[in-house]
Amino acid sequence: MTLPQVPGGPDAATGAHPTLDELRAEAIEGGRKPRRYGSWYATEHMLRAMRAYGWTIVVGALGQPLVYLFGLAVGLAALISQDIPTAGGGSVSYLVFVAPALLMTATIAVASEEFTYPVMAGFKWRRYFYGFNASALSSPQIANGVTIAASARMLFAGGAYYLFIWAFGAVFSLTTVPDPAHGWISIPVGLLAGLSFGMPLMAYAASLEDDKGQFALVQRFVFMPMFLFSGTFYPLATLPWWLQWIGWISPLWHATELGRMASFGEPVDPVMLVVHVAYLLVLSVGGYLLTRRIFTRRLAK
């Protein structure tokens, strides 16, 4: 009977022990796969961890748009008989005007959840980031995994919201270009909105040593003012000038303008189109690079 060979033990045929070079080569080969696919391994862990609150994700993604849109279509919109004027001189119903902003808000809300407490848990409470880093996974790969997993949830929430918007008849065209077939562009725009808000927030969360209520303050004094004063429920131009600046610096307003262009063809000046996209990209990429740097520095301790 042939005994199974133990890795690192003597060769079964010759009884010779592997050399140091052979052991080193074996270790290098064993580490290549995690190093190559490390981001996806970290993503897998984060997605599996979401199963602990999976029903919350499903109910939130399906129930929230239904409640919001039904309430607006049957409730608030019934009290607002006048249509909302658009930038191109046309007008749309209140439901059509608000729906794209709600989609963007949903993805940003997901980002505010996934890029705060789970990040704190990885560094402080459960400390699984340190376990990842002790393996062949690098610090940037761990940050990538958190980002990809959160992005998957944002896509799910944005896709569900878009289906309800479409079902409520809030996707059509005021002009010939874009047409209703382009309404799905709201979903990747929603993802970009979530990343533009979430990546700087993730960098902030990764820098915290203790939870002293900072995330609650972000919700109350960053997320809520952004939600209320970014042209979500009314055109930004109707606000006093001393409040409009909140919308100008808010990723929600920039994303909402893009979403309205995709959903019902609201005209957007080409220069402003570039500004909207560039602003969201700068926040996303800048926040991502800062996050990688903070993860690397903190996990090296």
pLDDT in tens, 117-166: 999 999 999 999 999 998 889 999 999 999 999 999 999 999 999 998 88
Q: How confident is the model at residue 301 (pLDDT cuts 50, 70, 90)?
A: confident
Using the predicted structure, report yes or no on whether residue 32 has a pLDDT greater than 70. no
Helical H runs in the chain?
Answer: 20-49, 54-70, 77-79, 94-114, 117-120, 128-134, 139-167, 186-207, 214-218, 224-228, 241-248, 251-264, 270-299
Q: Is residue 3 part of a domain?
A: no
Per-residue pLDDT, 1: 44
Cβ distance 108 to 223 under 8 Å?
Answer: yes
Q: How confident is the model at residue 220 (pLDDT cuts 50, 70, 90)?
A: very high
Number of domains composing the chain: 1
Percentage, residues of the chain above pLDDT 70: 81
Q: How confident is the model at residue 263 (pLDDT cuts 50, 70, 90)?
A: confident
pLDDT tens digits, residue range 69-110? Answer: 777 766 776 667 677 777 666 788 888 888 999 999 999 999
DSSP 178: S
| Cα(82)–Cα(179) distance, integer angstroms | 24
Per-residue pLDDT, 149: 97
Q: Is residue 7 part of a domain?
A: no
Q: How confident is the model at residue 4 (pLDDT cuts 50, 70, 90)?
A: very low
Residue ranges making up the domain that contains 113:
38-299
Q: Is residue 66 part of a domain?
A: yes
Q: Is residue 94 part of a domain?
A: yes
Cβ distance 230 to 240 under 8 Å?
Answer: no
Q: Is residue 243 part of a domain?
A: yes
Placement of tokens 């290549």 in the chain: 32
Model pTM score? 0.84
Q: Is residue 90 part of a domain?
A: yes
Q: Is residue 26 part of a domain?
A: no
Using the predicted structure, report yes or no on whether residue 9 has a pLDDT greater than 80. no
Q: Is residue 213 part of a domain?
A: yes
Per-residue pLDDT, 171: 80
Distance from chain centroid for Cα 56: 17
